[in-house]
Amino acid sequence: MTTSTLLIAFPKGRLGDELVPKLAGTPLALDVEALKSRVLRIPTATPGVAVLLLKGADLPRYVAAGVASLGIVGSDTLDEMDMDLLELADLGFGACRLSLCAQTGVTLDALRAKPHLRLATKFPRATEAWLTREGLTAELVPLSSSAELAPLLGLADAIVDLVQTGSTLRAHGLVETAVLGASSARLVAARGAYLSEPGRIRPLAQLLVTLLRMDP
Amino acid sequence: MPVRTPHFPDLLFGSAARLRRWEAALMGLLAAQGYRELHPSLVLREAIPDGALRFFDGDDLVALRWDFTVALAGLLARGFSSPPDRVAYAGAVFRRPVQPWEAVERFEVGCERIQPEGESSAEADVELARLLMAIPGALGLKSAILHLGHAALVRRPLEAEGLFGGLADEVVAALSRRAPHRVREVLKGHPSAARLTAHAEAVLSELDGPGTLDALSVSPYAHLLEGEREQMDRALKALLPILPANLELRVDLADVAGLGFYTGPTLRLWAPGAQQELAAGGRYDRLFPDLGRPWQAAGFCVRLSRLLDLAETRPDLFEPLP
């Protein structure tokens, strides 16, 4: 492991699409040419600082292991994984709801009344916590993508998924029947790097907060 | 959740030699300060936790020694009417890993300072901090960082607000993540939310520098924590003048690791760039009273397995071997 380059882990996908443009023209702007390529380690405008582009579900592992000193990831992912890392700030952007969604016309009471409720989700931990709070039991169908298809094709009665604008739900004839929680982008840090090298890590963390934080 | 595929690393020539050398150096250092070695049995037959490596010996469920402090406490409480004041230990403990990089077998060297209840503990705490300050030099670490914390800085405000059980655990978990916004989320709607969030922001505002203890003055619990602040101030005044050149001393007001165990000052040793603490300890005055003995105790444990890993991955952090 080299000590010369500080690595920041950025998520691919929805959150990354929101994040990268915010840094354009700043000291942490990503190298445009590298970004167009298939390279996953992207230099920034600051020498000695590079960005790793990672799948959100993998990102906390890279940070917890100290491979990346800092990272940006949705709080929904953090809540599911419970990794040992520091969560330095709620950056406010990427806000969305974790919701129970079913086909139009299916109510929460109808779902409650089902003797064998099946819920498809990428978020089993949050779903289990909600079921416990509600005093319900259900069969969880773990999925890693395209959960919206599950109720349409009979794989599940409803889904628990992230909802930002609701357009994907509407396109599949689904509606939110309950909101389980909220999610937004969080700045995370490797515990070891932050506690053993605060002089290196804290200024970079502060810069990211300054550049990215939106009031929630 | 325990890791399903724990690893049992073998130590080959260089690492095995380093382990022996480090054990000898540290036990020598402790012996020179009056710490006498005790070696509790490798097999434990009582108070077996889930994380221990367990097996049946005939009809009896037994476990391999999973923690020296707990094993020593049992030995001392059973076998001594008055405690030896200084004890040391060296050897392996066996635990099911929680993180994937943790090994099952972990080598440790440590010490305990034990006193009858009611005696002043301030000198003992400083003695342990001074001993821990000598550890990096004995191990050949080029530089290190000692974090000084205090378990009561978080526990007492929680107790003052009547927060116990699951909700208190969630607040502690948020502080462990250094996330005051999580404290606010966890306590949403609770009468203490504003006060405890302000306290979280205060204790998380600084990690080093001369003004660190001043951060406590903006906490809503500043008055409640005056005694702890004075205790930490005295410790800093005792330790800073004797700080070795290769060691930084920092105050960490939000150290909550082991909060259910520690009752007073806490100590953690890091090396710059290390991903895990290399030694940890503090005051744990409830341990012996819970075993029926009116004794108070403090100690620390040097995690030699982590140091061996560090020597493999970051040899640049160590002085060359003679």
Task: Please spell the DSSP secondary structure of A79-145, one letter per residue.
Answer: HHH--S-EEEEE---S-EEEEEEEETT--HHHHHH-SS-EEEES-HHHHHHHHHHHT---EEEE-SS
DSSP lists the bridge partners of residue B191 as none
What's residue A1's pLDDT?
39
Give the pLDDT confidence of B146-179 residue by residue, as tens digits. 999 999 999 999 999 999 989 999 999 999 999 9
A113 plus A66 within the same structural domain: no
Which residue, B241, B242, B239, B286, is CA-closest to B267? B239
Tell me which residue has tokens 């007073």: B264
For residues A145 and A169, membership in a common domain is answered with yes
Using the structure block, give the residue that is written with the tokens 């800093």. B236
Looking at the domain assignment, is residue A66 inside a domain?
Answer: yes
**The pLDDT of residue B209:** 64
Interface of B with A (CB under 8 A): 99, 101, 145, 147, 177-179, 181-182, 207-208, 252, 268, 270-277, 313-314, 316
* Residues B33-54 pLDDT 10s: 999 999 999 998 877 888 899 9
B-chain CB neighbours of A192 within 8 Å are 270, 273-277
Does residue A1 form part of some domain? no
Is there a domain that residue A102 lies in? yes
Contacts of B271 in chain A (CB under 8 A): 196
Residue A11 in tokens? 């998520």
Do A87 and A160 lie in one domain? The reply is no
Identify whether A129 is part of a domain.
yes
Compute the distance between CA of residue A79 and CA of residue A93 in angstroms, rounded to an integer: 17
Nearest to B275 among A65, A86, A198 (CB): A65
What pLDDT is recorded for position B208? 65
Distances (CA, A) of B298 to A6, B71, B116, B129, B247: 38, 15, 12, 10, 22
For chain B, give the percent of residues with pLDDT over 90. 79
Vertex A216: Cα angle to A46 and A75 (nearest 5): 70
Q: Are A85 and A191 in a shared domain? A: yes
Q: For residue A119, is it within any domain?
A: yes
**A196 is a domain residue:** yes
Looking at the structure, do residues A131 and A26 belong to the same domain, yes or no? no
| Statement to judge: residues A68 and A83 lie in one domain | yes
Report how far residue A57's alpha carbon sits from residue A76's, in angstroms, rounded to the nearest whole number.
10
A198 touches chain B (CB under 8 A): yes
Residues A90 and A170 in one domain: no
Given pLDDT bands bounded at 50, 70 and 90, which one contains residue A215? low
| A42 & A66 share domain | yes
Is the domain of A155 the same as that of A177? yes
Residue B128: per-residue pLDDT: 97
| Per-residue confidence (pLDDT) for residue B10, from 0 to 100 | 86
Q: Do A175 and A195 belong together in one domain?
A: no
Contact A195 B179 (CB under 8 A): no
Q: What is the pLDDT of residues B228-253, one digit of tens each?
A: 999 999 999 999 999 999 999 999 99
Please, which pLDDT band fits residue B8 given cuts at 50, 70 and 90? confident
d(CA A6, CA A13): 22
Band (pLDDT 50/70/90 cuts) for residue A2 is very low
**pLDDT value at residue B6:** 57
CATH code: domain of residue A79: 3.40.190.10
Measure the CA angle with vertex A187, ends A184 and A192; round to 5°. Answer: 145
Query: A85 and A111 share a domain?
Result: no
Amino acid sitting at position B241: P
Is the model's pLDDT at B199 over the cut of 90?
yes
Domain tally, chain A: 2
- Which residues of chain B lie closer than 8 angstroms to A195, CB-CB? 145, 147, 207, 252, 268, 270, 277
Asked if the structure places residue A54 within a domain, the reply is yes
**CB contact residues (below 8 A), chain A span 157-196, against chain B:** 186, 189-196
| Same-domain check for residues A62 and A90 | yes
Q: Which domains does chain B have, with CATH numbers?
A: 1-151+260-317 (3.30.930.10), 153-257 (no CATH)
Taking contacts as CB-CB distances below 8 angstroms, the residues of chain B near A91 are none
User: Percent of chain A beyond pLDDT 70?
Assistant: 97
| % of chain A with per-residue pLDDT over 90 | 80
Closest CA to B71 of B35, B115, B118, B112: B112
Judged by CB atoms closer than 8 Å, whether chains meet at B273 and A194 is answered as: no
Full domain range(s) for residue A52: 6-94+184-212
Cβ B149 vs Cβ B266: under 8 Å: yes
Helices (H) and strands (E) in chain A, counts: 10, 11
**CA-to-CA distance for A156 and B56, rounded, in angstroms?**
44
